[in-house]
Amino acid sequence: LVVDGSSVRLVAGPAASPDVTVTQTYAVSTQIAKGQRNPLDAFQHGLIELSGDVRAMVVAHRALDGAHESTAAMRAATTYPE
């Protein structure tokens, strides 16, 4: 996920030099995508780890919220193997 100002785009593969790295299990990721778990709750319970410049995520929160909203139909149509 690349956030540049107010724009967000998905890019395949790892970032060359990410500002922030988000680490979570597949299970937590799918629970969040399905709306079964809140990302903030998962972070507060130690299920998501952040490294790097976490302030960058705070600054980009509006763009990230927009990305979440704009991918709702895609997430609803996606199946998640167990």
Q: How far apart are CA 35 and CA 68, in angstroms?
A: 11
| CB-CB contact of 51 with 23 (8 Å) | yes
pLDDT at residue 6 tops 80: no
Rounded Cα gap, residues 2 and 9, in angstroms = 5
pTM for the whole structure: 0.76
Q: What is the tens place of the pLDDT at every residue in 49-77? A: 999 998 888 888 888 888 888 888 888 88
